[in-house]
Amino acid sequence: MITGIVVALLLAVIVFQYMIIKIDRNKRHEAGHDKLTGLCNLEHLMQKIKELPDKKKNRLIIYSDIAEFKLIMMTQCLKMLLNIRQ
C-alpha cells in the first residue's frame, strides 16, 4: 500500500517537472520569436549572433524592418476573413 503511494507521488513529481520544463521552453520560444511569422525577433537574433564561434569566417547577415508590418498583416487577415464570410 505504502509502495503504491510512493510510486504515485514519484510519478506525480516527474509529470509536474516535465510540465514546468515544457512551459518554460514555450515561454522562452515565445519571447524570442514573432507570434505572427514565427521568425526570430531582433533581440533573439542578436543573442544567437553573439553565441557564434569566433572563427575567421565571412558571414553576411541581412536585416530588414518593414514599416507598418502589423498594419499590412492585419489588413491581409481582415481581407481573408471577409472573403471567408461571403
Domain range for residue 49?
Answer: 1-53+60-85
The residues, ordered by sequence, that sit 6+ positions from 63 with a Cβ below 8 Å of its Cβ are: 42, 45
What span, in angstroms and rounded, lies between the C-alpha atoms of 43 and 32? Answer: 7
Higher pLDDT among residues 5 and 61, named by residue: 5
Return the pLDDT at 18. 96
CB atoms within 10 A of CB 81: 10
Number of compact structural domains in the chain: 1
Per-residue pLDDT tens over the stretch 6-55: 999 999 999 999 999 999 999 998 889 888 778 888 888 888 888 888 77
User: With contact defined as beta carbons under 8 Å apart, do 41 and 32 qualify?
Assistant: yes
| Reported confidence tier of residue 85, pLDDT bands at 50, 70, 90 | low
* pLDDT given at position 86: 53
Q: What would the pLDDT profile of 41-78 be if each residue is shown by its tens digit?
A: 888 888 888 888 877 777 777 777 777 777 777 787 88
